[in-house]
Amino acid sequence: MTSSELQTPPLDTARRLAEHGDLDGAAAILADLAAADGPDAAQAAVGLAVVLDEAGDVEGARAAARAALATGHPEFAAQAACHLAQGFEREGRLGQARGAWQAVLGVGTPAYVPLAHLALARLALDADDPDEAESALRAALDTAGPADGEPRAGDAPEGATDVRMHAVQQLADLLIERGDPGEAADLLLDALRDASGDDAARLRVQLGIAHLELACAEFAGAVEDGGEAQTSALAIELLARTLPLRGRADDADHVWAYGLDHEDETLASEVRLRYDR
């Protein structure tokens, strides 16, 4: 071993060995560091979890991750909890994954809290619990930092913008699905102020969908208001032609039938003209 190798920090040596495929060598160094209870113990334990996972030793990896989590280190304990959660999710052990993501929240490191809320929202959606998902998505938005990009004490750092965009998109979908397109539109418009590229395009599509839902509600309201025949017929036509854009062709058929068979012959005649054109 050369003098330069002797001077290389053990963590760097372990990382270099892992990068070159010597997982056993890397694991041996990391295991010694993790057991030594020194300043690098938490980082070494996380590194050991990653190396053992890559080597196929899932239980050994989880033991190392739990050891890192037990240190309470703000960075490496959070990383360890994320490692545990992601592994449980891959195996479909969603209850254990939820507990591990909650452990991330317990550590409280700002960089990881929004990610944990977003993951908990995903698990809630998988469990068909939209209320819990909505709560987690709002928490992700609250902890990911301000939408306007202005710095604020305690904001989540790197990656917060991606988390915010994912949370906005998922929350908007939930709001539209539960029949609150107005709030969804407000949320999307706010997010668009800072979005660009693919994010902006996706948000605009969602905003268009929210506006379609709002339009359907207004057209239906105009029909229910029972205005003069031409206005009601126009509202019926617009509603019937918009509903299929939201995958509601059957509802559109019912709207046409309502107008075509209306007891007010003047209205029915106006609807027939619009239906046939």
Q: What are phi and psi of 146, to 5 degrees?
A: -70, 150
Instruction: Measure the CA–CA gap between 243 and 189, rounded to whole angstroms.
Output: 23
- Which residues 6+ apart lie within 8 Å of 106 measured at CB? 81
Q: What is the mean pLDDT of residues 106-114?
A: 94
The pTM for the full model equals: 0.82
Domain boundaries, the chain: 1-91, 110-215, 226-277
The two tokens of residue 263 are 């007891």
Contact 156, 144 (CB under 8 A): yes
At 160, the pLDDT band (50, 70, 90 cuts) reads low
Place of tokens 């046939």: 276
The two tokens of residue 146 are 């301000």
- For the chain, how big is the Rg over CA atoms in Å? 28
User: Quick one: pLDDT at residue 147?
Assistant: 56
Contact 139, 183 (CB under 8 A): no
| pLDDT exceeds 50 at position 155 | no
At 113, the pLDDT band (50, 70, 90 cuts) reads very high
User: Quick one: pLDDT at residue 157?
Assistant: 43
Q: 3-state class of 85 per DSSP?
A: helix
Report which of 206, 192, 186, 124 is spatially closest to residue 164, judged by C-alpha positions.
192
**pLDDT tens by residue, 224-268:** 998 899 999 999 999 999 999 999 999 999 999 999 999 999 999
User: Quick one: pLDDT at residue 210?
Assistant: 97
User: Quick one: pLDDT at residue 154?
Assistant: 41
Q: Please classify residue 75 by burial: count the beta carbons closer than 10 Å to its beta carbon, then call 0-12 exposed, 13-18 middle and 19+ buried.
A: middle
Start-to-end C-alpha separation, the chain: 87
The two tokens of residue 73 are 């280190």
Report which of 38, 50, 52, 46 is spatially closest to residue 9, judged by C-alpha positions.
38
Q: What are phi and psi of 92, to 5 degrees?
A: 75, 15
Instruction: Measure the CA–CA gap between 159 and 174, rounded to whole angstroms.
Output: 23
**pLDDT tens by residue, 42-94:** 999 999 999 999 999 999 999 999 999 999 999 999 999 999 999 999 999 99
Looking at the domain 110-215, which fold is it? Answer: 1.25.40
Q: Do domains 1-91 and 110-215 have the same CATH topology?
A: yes
Instruction: Measure the CA–CA gap between 134 and 105, rounded to whole angstroms.
Output: 17
Domain covering 1-91 in this structure, CATH number: 1.25.40.10
Q: How many CA atoms lie within 13 A of 111 on its CB side?
A: 10
User: Quick one: pLDDT at residue 159?
Assistant: 61
